[in-house]
């Protein structure tokens, strides 16, 4: 056990059709998960909402926050717990005005301390740094050092998320540096023993 204060933030894989609802349920039953991010690309909002609704129910039944990636409009439509905004996905203050005071709004900050501070000032509920390691899930160009997590957690109370190529084998330096959440995808969905085992491997590290 490294730090019981660090939690798992699970991100959906590129494909969420077919039996994915059952896979998500197995993953969430494999160990403690704080949040699930619904990330889909190139779908209209109606189709995205159709895919999201059963997954949202699975999360609600397990008290796991359901966060929509990129789309404030979809988060509003679903009554999601929050939205995660990339650098070009919209204004944090505008998202707050649309989603209300209780929504969890996260901001991608890559390796930028300046943008993280701006996001915090704008009302973000957490900031995300990364990618810390090469990722098969998403092409990355920014590669911060774990020290940015130490810098942030030493100065600010706002939670920080580490993202990018994180596995149970390479997570320890990020937790030790001060990450409040580990955002993971491939390490769970592509685990050779299944998604429940993927979550359980992180649960052993995080305690």
Distance CA 139, CA 164 (A): 10
Strands (E) in the chain, as ranges, are 7-11, 35-38, 65-69, 82-85, 104-110, 126-130, 160-163, 181-184
Handedness of CA 183, 123, 4, 29 (dihedral sign): negative
Q: Residues 59, 33: contact at Cβ < 8 Å? A: no
Report helix, strand or coil for 34. Answer: coil
Summary count for the chain: helices (H), strands (E): 9, 8
What is the CATH T-level fold of the domain 7-206, as seen in this structure?
Answer: TIM Barrel (3.20.20)
User: In terms of C-beta density within 10 A (0-12 exposed, 13-18 middle, 19 or more buried), how is residue 136 classed?
Assistant: exposed
Closest CA to 31 of 184, 164, 206, 166: 206
Supply the pTM of this predicted model. 0.95
Which residues have CB under 8 Å from 100's CB, separation 6+? none
Distance CA 180, CA 204 (A): 16
Kindly list the domain boundaries of the chain, sorted by start residue.
Answer: 7-206
Distance CA 45, CA 64 (A): 22
- CA pair distance 1, 72, nearest whole angstrom: 36
pLDDT in tens, the chain (207 residues): 334 589 999 999 999 999 999 999 999 999 999 999 999 988 999 999 999 999 999 999 999 999 999 999 999 999 999 999 998 878 999 999 999 999 999 999 999 999 999 999 999 999 999 999 997 766 667 789 999 999 999 999 999 999 999 999 999 999 999 999 999 999 999 999 999 999 999 999 897
**C-alpha to C-alpha distance for 207 and 204, rounded to whole angstroms:** 5
Pairing of the two strands 7-11 and 82-85 = unpaired
Q: Tell me the H-state helices in 66-144.
A: 72-78, 92-99, 113-122
């Amino acid at each position: 056990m490294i730090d019981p204060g660090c939690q798992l933030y699970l991100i959906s894989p590129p494909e969420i059709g077919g039996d994915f609802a059952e896979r998500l349920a197995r993953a969430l039953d494999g160990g403690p998960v704080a949040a699930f991010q619904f990330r889909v690309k190139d779908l209209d909002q109606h189709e995205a909402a159709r895919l999201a609704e059963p997954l949202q129910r699975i999360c609600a039944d397990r008290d796991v926050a359901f966060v929509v990636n990129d789309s404030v409009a979809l988060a509003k439509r679903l009554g999601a717990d929050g939205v995660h905004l990339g650098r070009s996905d919209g204004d944090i203050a505008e998202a707050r005005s649309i989603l209300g005071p209780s929504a969890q709004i996260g901001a991608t900050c890559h390796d930028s301390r300046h943008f993280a501070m701006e996001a915090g000032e704008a009302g973000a509920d957490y900031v995300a740094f990364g990618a810390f390691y090469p990722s098969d899930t998403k092409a990355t160009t920014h590669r911060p050092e774990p020290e940015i997590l130490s810098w942030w957690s030493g100065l600010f109370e706002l939670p920080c998320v580490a993202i990018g190529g994180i596995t149970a084998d390479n997570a320890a330096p990020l937790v030790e540096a001060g990450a409040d959440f580990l955002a993971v995808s491939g390490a769970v969905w592509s685990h050779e023993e299944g998604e429940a085992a993927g979550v359980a491997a992180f649960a052993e590290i995080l305690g």
